[in-house]
Amino acid sequence: MAVDMSNAVGLDVPAAEQVPGSPGELPPGRRRGFRLPSALGPGIPRALVFAALGYLFGHWIGNLIAAGYSQVTNSGSNNAAIILGYLFGTVGWIGGMGVLTYPLTKMTGREELLAPQRSVGPGRYFRYTLDHKVVGIQYMVGMIVYFLTAGLLALAIRTELLSPTNHVFGPGVYIEVVGEHGTMMMMMMTSVIVGPFGNFLVPLMIGARRMAFPRLEALSFWLTPAAYIILLSSLWLGGFPTGWTGYAPLSVQAGRGMDAYVAAFGVMAISIILAGFNIVVTVINLRAPGMTWGRLPVFVWGVMTTSFLMVLATPVLFGALYMLGLDRTIQTSFFTDTLGGSSYLWENLFWFFGHPEVYILALPGFAIVLEMLPVFCRKPIFAQKVAIAGMVGVSALSFFVWQHHLFDSGINPDMRPLFMLTTELISIPTGFIFLVGMGTLWKARIRLTVPMMFAMGFFFNFLLGGISGVFLSDVPADTTAHGTFFVMAHFHYTIMGGLIFAFFGGLYYWLPKMTGRSMNHRLGKWNFIAMFVFFNSTFLPLFAVGELGQPRRVFEYAKRLQTLNDWVSISAFLLGFAILLFVINLVWSMIIKPVRSPENPWHSRGLEWQTTSPPPPGNFDRIPIILAGPYEYGKPDALPMSDLVSRTSPVAAAAATDSERTI
């Protein structure tokens, strides 16, 4: 058990508010130094100005360094200037947001010059803030924007594939759009669960007032807009022809757009590492008294195991990107075979991160649905410890399967049986988690709310994705299906069909807690039905398209496959309309016509629901003492989860009287 001694400290109280006098008042005899006009105070406008200045400075430095060289890069352009421009532009961006204000002022011994931070008003969502709840909502809005951007790129791909002969784009532009879509999804969506829900909910679920490192938490978010802008800028630089995997030697030889890939993925890698590290430290050190490991909510277990993957796997990607950047700028040869390097080195380094990343996306999805199931089934999680063991097992085994992506690359054939075995083995703990969900549904009193519908859709989609993955773990079958739309369909069933459905379910479930406002449930049900039908109508036929031989990333295909491709493209646009229904629901329910939500609309025992909605600064009036687990539904003698809730409260009464377990 860990006791949070630092929770007594205020959530968002800088040094200027802790000196004698009123907040922000200077000690006698001290004068406040020069300050920029308020229009250029910390915030997005100043960050954009500083980012532009930083980019120009970095570009100038790059040109200065390369001035004495006749051949700058393999691509024939000054890649050093572009990458340094992105680097200094990112530093300018976070400096303009105010990220560097505290450490620089602290180092100079002038912390009394710090102005007090205010976590009130809608403007706080556009500023650098230390409130984990504000950061969580910033992440939520950011991830929705990134997801919608990648979705529009996907619709551009399906528009091109409406005809095998009549083209909207040329082959070069098409592969740029494919690479931009895949990189946007895989790079930005890595934090789609841990970012919004992990930052907002984990402190609430463990009884803490804040994250362990609030400044690192805020920095981890404000790096993501920089990565997003850098990645989009590649379209103006000619894009990159490698897809999201960035395979060498093509990535070394590619044009200037590849520099945006290197810089954006590198910035996002730093964000992922910081976010994962912060959550791990928070869960280990800031749990409330009585919050033992056995009472830790399954969502927190899922986020923490995911965070370990983020901390351990992402530095490998960052190192690979660093080496690729050196190959492109100062002519090293890490990934150039003719100069002593190896293109296989990139594949191994990339997939050593890339396959744990698949579980960085999948594990939080399982954690969300397992957190919701007992609430809407009114019974405890079936074999909760088995689910936790499955999450830990998946995390450990995910580092031993990466070379199944290289079955068809010419690797030593003697290595194939080993990675075929490890890939099959990882399906065992994954199956444990799936069976725990099925066991929880068995003989349950199910309330078919909108979040529960998305949870059920998650299990259906992930089952199809998992079954199709068995074929790809087998060497002969993978040799046939490798590089076809079969792989793409499998991947989208496990990630979009799993993660995105869980993400939407989590939004419908926790938005009343995050905002104090209810989503429109009727529109939410139509949103789920449309998403479920059109998602399966889009990606299920792609298994057949792949088995019939259509390769990925090719904009021309056999005419006999046009009917299937037209069906998929039309379904994709209808799926886009279904997602638009969610956006309409979100804007309508949160902004245009908000409806106040009850404090605990789902009658959950969870600790996060035992405070107001939205939670106040500091989360709780006092540190709670944990008395029982969060899933003791249907037990008349069950204690409330914490001393914040009495036995006579509506939440405790609802948990005690829901003893019927028939559907």
Main-chain dihedrals φ then ψ at residue 100, nearest 5 degrees: -90, -5
pLDDT digits (tens, 9 = 90+) for 196-233: 999 999 999 999 999 999 999 999 999 999 999 999 99
| Residue 659 confidence (pLDDT) above 50 | no
For the segment 518-544, the average pLDDT, to the nearest whole number, is 96
Structure tokens of 383? 């074999």
User: How far is CA 312 from each of CA 276, 306, 395, 480, rounded to the nearest angstrom?
Assistant: 9, 10, 10, 33
In this predicted model, which residue has the larger pLDDT, 29 or 131?
131
Residues 243/553, Cβ–Cβ less than 8 Å: yes
411 burial level (CB within 10 Å; 0-12, 13-18, 19+) = middle
Distance CA 596, CA 237 (A): 47
| Residue 125 confidence (pLDDT) above 70 | yes
* pLDDT confidence band for 635 (50 / 70 / 90): confident
Return the pLDDT at 310. 95
Apex 467 CA angle, 399 and 560, nearest 5: 115
Return the pLDDT at 77. 66
Residues 71/79, Cβ–Cβ less than 8 Å: no
Residues 270/321, Cβ–Cβ less than 8 Å: no
CA dihedral 390, 287, 516, 513 (to 10 degrees): 10
Q: What is the CA radius of gyration of the chain?
A: 25
**Alpha helix segments (H runs only) across 442-556:** 450-473, 475-481, 485-494, 501-515, 521-547
Which residues have C-beta within 8 Å of that of residue 287, sequence separation ≥ 6?
A: 1, 2, 4, 206, 207, 208, 296
Domain 129-592 has CATH 3.40.50.300: no
Return the pLDDT at 213. 95
Return the pLDDT at 338. 84
* pLDDT confidence band for 19 (50 / 70 / 90): very low
Return the residue matching tokens 């590849």.
258
Share of the chain above pLDDT 70, in %: 88
Structure tokens of 260? 């945006």
Residues 297/303, Cβ–Cβ less than 8 Å: no
Main-chain dihedrals φ then ψ at residue 517, nearest 5 degrees: -125, 145
Return the pLDDT at 230. 97
Q: Which of 333-342, 352-361, 560-569, 609-618 has the highest mean pLDDT?
A: 560-569
Return the pLDDT at 68. 64
Return the pLDDT at 21. 34
**Domains of the chain by residue range:** 129-592
Distance CA 178, CA 91 (A): 29
Q: Which long-range contacts (CB under 8 A, 24 or more apart) does 350-354 make?
A: 350/245, 350/246, 350/247, 350/317, 350/320, 351/402, 351/403, 351/405, 351/406, 352/313, 352/316, 352/399, 352/402, 353/313, 353/314, 353/316, 353/317, 353/320, 354/245, 354/317, 354/402, 354/405
pLDDT digits (tens, 9 = 90+) for 278-297: 999 999 999 999 999 999 99
CA torsion through residues 90, 95, 97, 100, sign:
positive
> Omega before 614 cis (within 30°)?
yes
| Residue 346 confidence (pLDDT) above 60 | yes
b/e map 32-59, b = 16+ CB within 10 Å = eeeeeeeeeebbeebbeebbeebbebbb
The answer to which of 41-50, 252-261, 351-360, 463-472 has the lowest mean pLDDT is: 41-50
Name the DSSP letter for residue 168.
S
pLDDT digits (tens, 9 = 90+) for 250-264: 999 999 999 999 999
DSSP string, 239-273: --TTGGGT-TTHHHH--THHHHHHHHHHHHHHHHH
How remote is the C-alpha of 642 from its chain's centroid? Answer: 30
Distance CA 364, CA 510 (A): 15
Return the pLDDT at 422. 92
Distance CA 92, CA 543 (A): 46
pLDDT digits (tens, 9 = 90+) for 136-160: 999 999 999 999 999 999 999 999 9
Which residues have C-beta within 8 Å of that of residue 31, sequence separation ≥ 6?
A: none
User: How far is CA 499 from each of CA 152, 252, 441, 492, 646, rounded to the nearest angstrom?
Assistant: 18, 32, 20, 10, 36
* Residue in 243, 113, 226 with CA at minimum distance from that of residue 177: 243
C-alpha count within 13 angstroms, C-beta hemisphere, residue 5: 0
Distance CA 245, CA 183 (A): 8
CA dihedral 312, 317, 318, 323 (to 10 degrees): 140
| Residue 386 confidence (pLDDT) above 90 | yes
How remote is the C-alpha of 14 from its chain's centroid? Answer: 29
Return the pLDDT at 111. 67
In this predicted model, which residue has the larger pLDDT, 502 or 642?
502
| Residue 27 confidence (pLDDT) above 60 | no
Residues 513/608, Cβ–Cβ less than 8 Å: yes
Per DSSP, the three-state class of 208 is coil
Structure tokens of 134? 């504000």
| Residue 406 confidence (pLDDT) above 50 | yes
User: How far is CA 338 from each of CA 220, 259, 325, rounded to the nearest angstrom?
Assistant: 39, 22, 18
Main-chain dihedrals φ then ψ at residue 610, nearest 5 degrees: -100, 25
Categorise residue 549: left if φ over 0, alpha if ψ from -120 to 50, beta otherwise: left
For the segment 5-14, the average pLDDT, to the nearest whole number, is 39
CA dihedral 513, 517, 523, 529 (to 10 degrees): -10
| Residue 649 confidence (pLDDT) above 60 | no
Return the pLDDT at 654. 54
| Residue 345 confidence (pLDDT) above 50 | yes
* SS3 labels along 376-434: HHCCCCCCHHHHHHHHHHHHHHHHHCHHHHHCCCCCCHHHHHHHHHHHHHHHHHHHHHH
Return the residue matching tokens 């036995």.
647
Return the pLDDT at 20. 32
| Residue 15 confidence (pLDDT) above 90 | no
Distance CA 207, CA 412 (A): 51
Residues 547/584, Cβ–Cβ less than 8 Å: no
Average pLDDT of the chain to the nearest whole number: 87
pLDDT digits (tens, 9 = 90+) for 98-123: 999 888 888 887 766 666 555 566 77
> Omega before 249 cis (within 30°)?
yes
Structure tokens of 248? 């060498």
Distance CA 138, CA 147 (A): 14
Return the pLDDT at 309. 95
Which residues have C-beta within 8 Å of that of residue 435, sequence separation ≥ 6?
A: 383, 386
CA dihedral 324, 358, 360, 439 (to 10 degrees): -170
| Residue 7 confidence (pLDDT) above 50 | no
